[in-house]
Each structure stands twice: as C-alpha cells, then as structure tokens.
Amino acid sequence: MAFLITTCSDQDAANNSETIRNAEKSAPPTLQQKKEESFTTKRQPKIDSSSDKVFKTSLKKIKDGLTEEENEQLTKALTFLMFDSINIGNMGIFGLAKDSDTRIFQAGFYVDVNGKTSNEIIDFAKKKEKIKATKQLISTKEKIATLEAKKKKYQERAAILKKIEVSNARYYWSEAEPKYSIPSYPVIRFDVKNNTGIPLSRISYQGVVQSPGRAIPWIKEDFGNNNSGGLEHGESKSLELNPGRYGAWGSTEVKDRKDAEFVVTVRNAKNAQNKYLVEVFDKSDQMKLDILYINIKKLTKQRHRQEL
C-alpha cells in the first residue's frame, strides 16, 4: 500500500491555523460552554432594589458569595454611590435627611444599583467617580483662573491708588469743653491729594495706631470719606474726621500715649461714576486660592490613580 506524503510551506501552515481559529470563533457554543456560562451567571446574583427589604436580602446574598477583599470593594462602591445620590437640599441642619424613608434614594442610588452584579456595581462606581473627579478638576481650574485674573487685575490697578497721596496724619483727642458739656473725643486728621488723573467721589482708607516695638496695633480700622464736590485731579484737601468715642477709635488705652504713631493708607477709591477703581484682592481671596491649589493637587493624583 502506498502512502501519499505532502508538504506545505510555513505560510500555508499559518493560514490553516488562522482558518481554524476563525472557525472556532464562528462556531456555535458547545453544550459544555453553555453549562459553564450558565454556571457563571448563577454564581453572580444581582441586586434587586424594588423594595428596601428585597434590596437588603439580595445584597446579603451577593456578599455571602464574595471574598473579604471583594466585599470591601463592593462596600466602598455602594458607599460612594449612596452619598453621590443624596440631595443636599433634602438635608436638615444637622446633616440628617429630613425624610427618614429610604425611598429618597430611589431616584438615584436604587436606580443605579438595580439589576447589577457586584462586579458591575464596582465598575459603575469607578466610572461615576472618574466623571465626578473630572468635573471637580475642571471646576477647580476655572475657579483658580477667575481668582488669578482678579489678582492680576488688582496688582495692575492697585498702582493707581499710590497716586493718592496722604500726609500729615494725626490721631488725637480733643480738649473737653465742660462749659458746653462737650466731652473729649477722638479726632483723625490728615491731608490728601489726588494725582490719579481722574476725579474721585469717595476714598476708602485704613488707619493704624501703633507704638514702636509692639507687634499688635492699638487700633486698625477701615474708614471712608465722601468728598463733597469730589476731589479733582491735582486737588488737595485737609480732612478732620470725628470717628466717635464708643468704637475702636475711642480706646482709652491709647488716648494718653505719647509714643503712638498714626499711619493712613488708601484702600480704594470711587470715580465720578461712583465705581471703585480697583476690585480688591484681599487675604481671604489669597486663602481661597491657596486652598484651591492644594485641592487641585489632590484631584490630579486621584485622577491619575483612576487611570491606572
């Protein structure tokens, strides 16, 4: 009996292997594969959130079939989804829900988890957390940009305030006039000159009364003055103001101190249209900016971990 022996090239062999793989992919599943698929499906029960009681029962069934690590991941995912679905407007003054009925979650949490396996819940929570982190990152960047623009504008415009000159500042107490029943009262006096190039309707100041060698001033107060008729460019005025005896300016501790020094600085001013020359960027704004930069670092790291 003769045997016919044929040979094929490496390319022919590769083509045959590819044909077999394609045939296996397109072939209908075998009975064994169907059994394995059915077994896998049975091993992954799903959440039923049609009611509170059914939800707890279905969750327990899922948790009983998970490892300790898988349980931790599921708990973390459920916790995130629960808090993410809470409407802050439905919270009381102590952070507790006004309506204790858990149906408040049905529009959010229960809908999110219903009909999902543990793996699907974990994956869903990760995706939702990633979307939320992305939104927070974008929002934080926008807030930083707004504050940085405000800071830059303030620094550019603040130079104009230096063109308002304050000189000969004095803080003292008047002489009492017992004859007319007029008691002694505090007086603020200084000269001001407008070199801004525009007329000013109002100027805001800060006055500081401090003794040399003392870290904390006796008085540090903001005050303002409406200029009757305005203060034109190049014009000067001598101001004498009575801030009152019963506020910070009426401190009796500083009344008779001979070493106390008085300094007046310009904080802002309004033009003829009654608009401030400078949008103030103060310490509270800088604090907000610092916190935002800290937050953006945390959000960036969180985003990086989510992408791993």
Give the strand order in the sheet containing 164-173: 164-173, 186-194, 236-241
Q: Which amino acid is at 158?
A: A
* Tokens read off for 96: 């507790």
Per-residue pLDDT tens digits for 238-273 = 999 999 888 899 988 888 888 999 999 999 999 999
Give the strand order in the sheet containing 261-271: 219-231, 200-210, 261-271
Same domain, 143 and 189: no
Please count the structural domains in the chain. Answer: 3
Question: Residue 142: is it exposed, middle or buried by C-beta count within 10 angstroms (0-12/13-18/19+)?
Answer: exposed
- Show the CA angle centred on residue 167, arms to residues 161 and 172, nearest 5°: 120
Q: What does each C-alpha distance from 304 to 81, 127, 298, 301 come to in angstroms?
A: 21, 14, 10, 5
Same domain, 172 and 253: yes
Q: What does each C-alpha distance from 134 to 115, 129, 193 come to in angstroms?
A: 27, 9, 52
Q: Which of 116, 146, 174 is the last residue of a domain?
A: 116
Res. 12 pLDDT band, cuts 50 70 90: very low
| pLDDT exceeds 60 at position 71 | yes
**Residue 123 located in a structural domain:** no
| pLDDT exceeds 70 at position 14 | no
Length of the chain: 308
For residues 218-254, b (16+ Cβ closer than 10 Å) or e, as one string? Answer: bbeeebeeebeebbeeeeeeebebebeeeeebbeeeb
Rounded Cα distance, 102 and 50, in Å:
12
Q: Which residue range forms the structural domain that includes residue 298? A: 135-158+286-307
Same domain, 109 and 146: no
Same domain, 169 and 249: yes
Tell how strand 236-241 and strand 261-271 pair up.
unpaired
Per-residue pLDDT tens digits for 79-105 = 998 888 875 554 444 444 555 444 555
Same domain, 241 and 217: yes
Same domain, 54 and 194: no
Same domain, 230 and 290: no
